[in-house]
Structure 1
């Protein structure tokens, strides 16, 4: 029992963090609100697939809106089995979080007690795990499957049994299904098998297995008239703005990912120390297979993926780096006459990472949920009262589609493929995209749309729309814009929309400001 006390304390800490943060949100919202509208995008797509067999942000058409097809599919199965409940992602993530801790626990048991306690605590506090659970997004599942992939790769290198390779291939499929960034790391596993181990068949087979979810989902998307990759990857990726935009995005990633760079510094020190006695470059790689795969995968993520947005995109990187540096840390901690400066530096870097990732989120996560409650949930409630089955123009689409059954024209492009194609033609831009403005003009008019709820700075609305009012939130941290504008698409509906806003303004939170044009 005494051996399990640290593990039990970790579980207790995680439970208390989740309970505390949920209670903070419940105090102002009356229920838990996810800190990202993206969580409601997953829920909306899962709901539509479970109830209407339509893979889309609405029940009326296919849309490749999710960036984690397997997570959305998992939610759809759970909704089909247990019913449509908005906290299914919270429960599923909690179970995945428990599994992640147990996998790390099993891995760290081989090391000293100091290593075990420091790294199991770091898993929970540096990720931070409670925040990733509470986002309602796929990041806990992604971190879990990536840890399992790395451990399976290590096991296969230690024992090249067919069963170990089969396990590695299966886990690679799951990891890629949860997030395509997994391919960054699996690619370098394939490179290692091909060039270092000279296992050509296994290398190619692993790559083919890993890319299977991308190929299958891509084929389905193209068959439905969409892009091969999910809309979010096309519109948010780091390849839309030429070389200058690319370098700017990489620099921004480095700035937002400074906490991960600190951990990478430890990883690089490990690689240098472990390989300095080796003469050839191949031998240096052979003694560092997992650290080298993790470093190379991180480098590609830095170049082509994202950091930030509630520190979620890089959360899995924290986990896999901790996995990779644990053996090195254990060697340092067990050497009584070892390099004290290096030991001290490692602990300091972990503490700095804690201060950069965990501490700010104690304030920012409730603030993000408050933003979503004040804006997206209020917009969803407004539509539910007056337009729950109507045709709506919008550009933040999660909550409004999950809590309603609207027809949608998404001016950002995540939920409307024609908009996404127009934005892609113009390098992902939308603010001054004339073709996009013309498309919105014609579509809203010809298809009889009724109302628009949009950020004006994202795209200019047609002149024949009548702006009736705005909804403004305070202390914005997470929402795409501070102010949402309400438009009547048909001028004859202007007074009706104005009256609806007057009535609705009486029930919004006191710090949500609704201004109505006279």
Structure 2
């Protein structure tokens, strides 16, 4: 079979990504002694919700509705993987397969920039572009986070390439339509690019497809909102409301507070490298587009939508551990700039795109390095919490980091952070929880003990709680190095002491358990 030079580049790039991911998984499992765990606790929230979806519920507890998932669609996809028997590997599969598609599409989009030149410099730039591209999209770290981000990048690329095809042919294709509909269903940030694409279609006189797609997207989102309202939950997931200051402020409806929150977010983010890169990319697209002249007509729909989406990410997006949130915007920028740089000479275009790839890759380099030790951190802390809660002391508990501790756990888990408990989220929205509020919540839930980060509770814990033990691990990706274990039901102290003693003998060498006497 004869492959074109572009196809060879795409095949090579996709294979490098696949081998890189396999190496990371094996390296992480070396750290954990052969146990597969993700580099963060968050995918286990999706797994916990997914297993309850299969039981007819929605949330981390079988008998309590909550919306801790950051995605509308992803927990249902994870549930499908559980139903197929993939188990814990379901999120990994949902990262690797879309990740391969992402690398295939991105490499195909940027290849023309490198194809137009020859010589030793060209060969060096082509070779460098492969690892830089994979790092620029953070695809060296995202698969082991087990979250929905590679799927979001894939849907984003369908919109980008669909807009390019629309610019060339004037037709609104299936790829563009699917991307517009799926992107917000995978991540709410997807509304930015989907909305920008719809505005572009309207501006270019394609009213019928724009209105039809807009109506379909509205219907999908309305269905989700109505379902949440039926379950007594807010329109936005608790993870979005709890972790995004802009979203929570907007949900409150105070316009002045919304503007203040957006401004504060912008000032903070412009000091971060990923957002500076996106701002520069938006400026480069805006500067390059007029220089393209007639040739820019085909690129204009994508370029205009790209500028809107990149600025929306800078204004309203957020940063978090493992650089998970800006990568869809990086994909938009790379596709757009690869097209816009055609205005320059062949060598200049390749060099300029490399200089865009390099800082993007640099901003994600540390996440690649930290992925195996982060998986070990999850194993040393949250995985051990899971074992204690399910194997050694299976009772109702209070937590404020709820992924692994709620996954495959038949006992009730009260989340006082607010992701898995709507009552706790509402209380936290009014201000830091007071000890008496925590006590009331735990008594209502019938909680017997707690495994929490106490530094998240600025006002402390109820005086009646007995600090039975502390588990300490070196911190890499965990929220804190110390998990405090409190006994809430004094009658269970003999059972807890026996459980702690047995549990201590099974801990990995880097995890320490210190017991304390109850008064």
Give the TM-score, by structure 2 length: 0.87
Contact 1:41 1:57 in 2 (8 A): yes
Deviation digits for residues 191-238 of structure 1, max 9, x if unmatched?
A: 2233x3244444333333234332221111111111011111111113
Cross-structure match for 1:101:
103
Deviation at 1:143, TM superposition (A): 0.3
Q: Look up the SS of the partner of 2:323 in the other structure.
A: coil
Comparing 398-407 with 118-127, which one deviates more in the overlay? 118-127
Are the aligned partners of 2:286 and 2:307 in contact in 1 as well (CA < 8 Å)?
no
1:371 positional shift: 1.8
Task: Please say if residues 225 and 235 of structure 2, whose CA atoms lie closer than 8 Å, have aligned partners that are also in contact.
Answer: yes
Deviation track 1:284-341 (CA, whole Å, cap 9, x = no partner) reads 999633122112112222222212310111121111111111112344352x6xxx5x
Q: 1: CA distance between counterparts of 2:218 and 2:321?
A: 26
Q: Residue 317 of structure 2 corresponds to which residue in structure 1?
A: 305
Separation (CA, whole Å) in 1 of partners of 2:87 and 2:238? 26
Paired residue for 2:269?
253
Distance 1:193 1:233 in 2: 29
Task: Give the corresponding residue for 1:230.
Answer: 237
Q: Is 1:328–2:340 an aligned residue pair?
A: yes
The answer as to whether partners of 2:152 and 2:186 remain within 8 angstroms in 1 is yes
Counterparts in 2 of 1:406 and 1:252: CA distance versus 1, 3 Å: farther
SS state at 2:38 partner: coil
Output one character per residue of 1:24-49: Cα deviation in whole Å (capped at 9) or x when no partner. 21112122210111111111111221
**C-alpha contact (below 8 Å) 1:451/1:486 kept by paired residues:** yes
The alignment status of 1:453 with 2:451, answered yes or no, reads yes
SS of residue in 1 equivalent to 2:322: coil
CA–CA distance in structure 1, aligned partners of residues 132 and 341 of structure 2:
13
1:501 Cα shift?
1.7
Quote the Cα distance in structure 1 between the aligned partners of 2:380 and 2:345.
48
Q: Residue 140 of structure 2 aligns to a residue in which SS? A: helix
Q: 2:146: which partner in 1?
A: 136
1:39 maps to what in 2? Answer: 43
Deviation of residue 379 (structure 1)? Answer: 0.2
| Paired position in structure 1 for 2:121 | none
Matching residue of 2:178: 170
Runs of at least 5 residues in structure 2 that lack an aligned partner in the other structure: 118-124, 250-256
Contact 2:414/2:421 (CA < 8 Å) preserved in 1?
Answer: yes
**1:147-166, CA deviations, whole angstroms, 9 ceiling, x for partnerless residues?**
001222232343344xx355
Deviation for aligned residue 1:18:
1.3
- Which residue of structure 2 lines up, in the alignment, with residue 491 of structure 1? 490
* 1:493/1:47 CA distance change after superposition, 3 Å: same
Q: 1:58 to 1:93 in 2, by over 3 A?
A: same
Q: Secondary structure at the match of 1:307?
A: coil
- Aligned pair partner of 2:367 in 357, 361, 364: 361
| Compared CA separation, residues 478 and 255, structure 1 to 2 (3 A) | farther
Q: Note the residue ranges of structure 1 that are not aligned, 5 or more in a row.
A: none
Q: Deviations over 1:319-376 (max 9, x none)?
A: 1111111112344352x6xxx5x7645433422332221x312321123212211111
Alignment of 1:119-518 (within 5 A): 121-161=131-171, 164=172, 167-194=175-202, 196-239=203-246, 240=248, 242=257, 246-256=262-272, 258-275=273-290, 288-334=300-346, 340=348, 344-357=351-364, 359-388=365-394, 390-424=395-429, 426=430, 429-430=431-432, 433-434=433-434, 437-459=435-457, 460-474=460-474, 476-518=475-517
Aligned residues: 494
State the Cα distance separating 1:494 from its structure 2 match: 3.0
Give CA-to-partner distance per residue, 1:463-510, whole Å, 9 cap, x none: 221111111111x23212221111111123234323322221111111
For 1:206 and 1:33, the matched residues in 2 are separated by 39
Q: Mean alpha-carbon deviation: is it higher for 231-240 or for 149-158?
A: 149-158
For residue 514 of structure 1, give the secondary structure of its aligned residue in structure 2. strand
**Tell me, what secondary structure is at the counterpart of 1:87?**
helix
Q: Deviations over 1:128-152 (max 9, x none)?
A: 2232122111011110011001222
| SS state at 2:68 partner | coil
* Cα RMSD after superposing both structures: 2.8
Q: Secondary structure at the match of 1:130?
A: coil
- CA contact 1:237–1:304 (8 Å) conserved in 2: no
Shift of 1:249: 3.2
Cα shift at 1:415:
0.4
Any idea what SS the aligned residue of 1:507 has?
Answer: coil
| Alignment correspondent of 1:88 | 90
Alpha-carbon distance in 1 for matches of 2:211, 2:270? 32
Alpha-carbon distance in 1 for matches of 2:376, 2:267:
30
Q: Structure 1 length as normaliser, TM-score?
A: 0.87
Query: How far, CA to CA, are the matches of 1:419 and 1:181 in structure 2?
Result: 25
- Cα 1:214/1:493, change in 2 over 3 Å: same
Structure 2 vs 1, CA of residues 94 and 273 (structure 1 numbering), >3 Å: closer, same or farther? Answer: closer
Secondary structure at 2:426's aligned position in 1? helix
* Counterpart-to-counterpart distance in 2, 1:55 and 1:290: 37
